[in-house]
Structure 1
Amino acid sequence: MEIIARMNVGGPATQVSGLCKLLDAEEFDHRLYTGHVDDGEGDRLVFGDAGLAVHRVPGLGRSVNPAGDLRALYRLAGTMRTFRPHIVHTRTAKAGALGRLAVSLSGVGAARVHVFHGHLLEGYFSPPKRAVYVNAERFLATLSDRLVTVGARVRDDLLRNRIGRPEQYVVIPPGVRLGPVPDRAAARTALGLPPGAPVVAYVGRLTRIKRPDRLLEVAREVLARVPGCRFLVCGGGELREQVEREARSLPGPVDLLGWRRDVETVYAAADVVLLTSDSEGTPLSLIEAGMTGTPVVATRVGSVAEVVRDGRTGLLAAPDAGELAAHTVRLLSDQELARRMGRAAQAWTTSAFAVERLVADTETLYRSLHGASDHRRSTPETSTP
């Protein structure tokens, strides 16, 4: 039983999609439970996975609503009593809390797995709210059989905050499968771009933690130094209108593309893919860029360095607009360096982050927990009435 708060366009939903499609159906009866996507976010079930079978749980969305959350908790617990899963696999903070609590409430004795696709330790909360988050995750870790992280750095950050025990952790990097990638000329024609213009692309949500303000600072510097350069912004979020408004004052074009099904076209059209975040897990946009042979410039946060081999497949920087801009200008100005890094990125990401590897790792994890869930079923834990 897989539980995720919402299937918005992004890393967690992409991983879930791959598992839903490729897990061995003869061995695993895998069912997905999710809430609804908020306005302003791209819906993965519209952008690429319209045929994916899901079970909707009212109240299991992004926003926190005590009454709705309580309804979702009891709905999940009731579903568990009917389905009787061997394993409950949760993703995202809210679904992780409700799903793990629902196992205790239901009394089904399922093994509990929670995935951290990143964490909320930095850049999200004020100190008091951060303390509440850390204490909640420490408690929820005691209800978990395994804690999965998408990178070693994410795991180490959580352990440093005394969330869980080392033996609970398993690192399973993301797995990605792109659609057909057009050639550069076709991609640029599809996007209405000049064939020879330098192009920098950003792919992702326009939210505070992703620092679109820093993206615009980088764009300002690069556009002033590289004649004819174009910036593409593929994505959306609550800051889209602000980004659109502020982009008008830049010394060159910034095209806001919104959410697109053919994100491969954006990567293929770009000379550089840029990431400006303050916090990340293991960003899929950088993996996808690598798979298309496009080098990246990114902030050195979270497990980014586990995707981008600094100086070999891309360039990493401090969360500083000036340094990010300098790296971007370097790659735009040195086409041979950019091509060499792009080829290395394609070889590395294709071998390390294939969706088939994600599925194999997950199936191995599930098999290792089957005995634990059988034991719990024979000695049921006390459930809340």
Structure 2
Amino acid sequence: MKRLRVLHLIDSLAAGGAERMAVNLCNLLNERGTPAWLCATRAEGPLLEMVADTDRYIFLEKRNALDFRAFTRLIRFIRRERINVLHAHSSSLAWAVMAKYFADIKVVWHDHFGNSEFLDSRARLPIRLFTRSVDYVISVNEKLQRWAIEKLNIDEDKVSYLPNFPMLSPKQTRPDRHSKRDIPVIICTANLRAAKDHHTLIKALALVRNDGIPFKLWLVGADFNDTYSRSLKQLIHERNLSGDVEFLGVRTDITDLLCQADIGVLSSVTEGLPVSLLEYGLAGLPVVATAVGQVPEVVGECGVVVPPKDVEALAAGLKKFLCDKERRRQLGKKFNERVEERYSAAPVYDLL
């Protein structure tokens, strides 16, 4: 059997879930002895710092969908490195399929679509056009797997659900979260986008503050300084939470931040399988998250899962942890064990 030589194709290295998985998979394959490369087509970004071997990285500087120069560089790279599997993430599907006509490769499409609650409105025709030429499809949750079979007419034996998995930098000696600080820190690692629904989180924390319960909230993720961002900051001001909320922006020291936090939260209205949630678990954080995408299955009985857009339920879930250090410790430990067993790099590699 020919040895696998895999190229992961991703649009950019911005701080997003699909991008993190492209980097994680490339790093994992190389770590386990399967040669793998990473290609960013359009833009680089902060996740470049996470690429373990930059000698196995290429940036195409793609200017538009018909950039012949960039596409030629891709084909030359595939031939030179004797790539035989092109693993296309999300919107890289089209270029991967086109590359198949110029190189002897198999194409795997990794569907990271994050709006799993709104699949009925997802355009099918262009995706179906390109997936006719792919050899395999990987979906980040079970809803997307079913959608691929039922709506894209992909054979069941050519599509599978592969969980996302986190890869944090080596753990430092973790500080004792339960004795050295009086005010618990809640962390939310999610870019400032409408799908993440930070507004419901802020409204829930206003209820918490009204009950006299102290906290700090760290918002980690890209701030696009758009209407959503401005309205969120206005809401924080109106609810008198400016002193309780910190915007930390895009960070590459996620491990350090998680080690300093006490509670992980996600208030999304839609998700696939959020890498942030898995990182909370790997860091031993108790979690409060909304019941969207694969979240309920990931959390199980090891955290608090609430309906999306339910301010009161989200507030109640956060209060359970803010007011009970021992509960935080116990469920943080349980969630850590669950993620290590089911969603860490080792079990996911076995599925590959």
**Offset of residue 202 of structure 1:** 0.5
Alignment match, 2:239 = 250
Which has the higher relative contact order, 1 or 2, with Cα contacts under 8 A spaced 6 or more apart? 1
Q: Can you give the 5+ residue segments of structure 2 that lack an aligned partner in the other structure?
A: 1-6
The residue that corresponds to 1:97 in the other structure is: 94
1:348-363 matches, cutoff 5 A: 348-362=338-352
CA contact (8 A) 1:76 1:99 kept: no
* Separation (CA, whole Å) in 1 of partners of 2:85 and 2:159: 16
Report how far residue 206 of structure 1 moved: 1.2
Matches within 5 A, 1:75-114: 75-92=73-90, 94-104=91-101, 106=102, 108-114=103-109
Aligned to 1:52: 54
* Residue of structure 1 equivalent to 2:275: 284
Deviations 1:54-107 (A, max 9, x none): 1111227xxxx4444x65445434544555522111102x21222123213x1x
Amino acid of the structure 1 residue aligned with 2:96: G
Whole-Å Cα distance in 2 between the matches of residues 79 and 248 of structure 1? 51
Q: How high is the TM-score relative to the length of structure 1?
A: 0.77
- Count matched residues: 338
Partners of 1:117 and 1:135 in 2: how far apart? Answer: 18
Kept in 2, the 8 Å contact 1:175–1:356? The answer is no
Q: CA deviation at 1:44?
A: 0.3
Q: What is the Cα deviation at residue 13 of structure 1?
A: 2.9
* Cross-structure match for 1:150: 140
Tell me: CA distance 1:34–1:8, structure 2 relative to 1, closer, same or farther (3 Å).
same
Partner of 2:206: 220
Deviation readout 1:92-136 (Å, 9 max, x if unpaired): 2x21222123213x1x331111111234565599x5xx3xx3211
- Give the match for residue 319 of structure 1: 308
Which residue number in structure 2 is paired with residue 206 of structure 1?
192
RMSD (Å) for aligned C-alpha atoms: 3.0
1:27: Cα distance to partner?
6.2
Identity, % of aligned positions: 22
Counterpart Cα distance in 1 of 2:235 and 2:251: 22
CA deviation map 1:226-281 (0-9, x unaligned) = 42221111111325752344423333310111122221232233332111112211
User: Structure 2 matches for 1:28-47, cutoff 5 A?
Assistant: 28-37=34-43, 43-46=46-49
Instruction: Sort the Cα spacing of 1:81 and 1:263 in 2 relative to 1 into closer, same or farther, 3 A.
Output: closer
C-alpha distance 66-33 of structure 1, shift in aligned 2 (>3 A): closer
Q: In the superposition, relative to structure 1, how do residues 182 and 280 fare at CA in structure 2: closer, same or farther (>3 Å)? A: farther
Q: Contact conserved, 1:11 with 1:284, CA < 8 A, in 2?
A: yes
Is the Cα contact below 8 Å between 1:187 and 1:269 reproduced in 2?
no
Q: Distance in 2 between matches of 1:176 and 1:291?
A: 7
Please, which runs of 5 or more residues in structure 1 have no aligned partner?
Answer: 189-193, 363-385
Determine which structure has the larger strand proportion and give its number.
2
Question: What amino acid is the match of 2:145?
Answer: R
Please state how far the C-alpha of 1:289 moved relative to its aligned partner.
Answer: 0.8
Which residue of the other structure, out of 171, 179, 185, is the alignment partner of 2:161?
171
Residue in 2 aligned with 1:265? Answer: 256
Rounded to whole Å, the distance in 2 between the matches of 1:160 and 1:278 is 24
Give the direction of change, closer, same or farther, for the CA distance of 1:293–1:25 in structure 2 (3 Å limit).
closer
Q: Separation in 2 of the partners of 1:121 and 1:200? A: 26
- Counterparts of 1:186 and 1:299 in 2: how far apart (Å)? 24
Instruction: Find the aligned partners of 2:272 and 2:188 in 1 and give their Cα distance.
Output: 17
**C-alpha displacement of 1:222:** 2.4
Letter paired with 1:314:
G
CA distance in 2, matches of 1:187, 1:91: 40
Tell me by how many angstroms 1:301 deviates.
1.1
1:366 maps to none
Q: For 1:326-345, what aligned pairs fall within 5 Å after superposition? A: 326-345=316-335
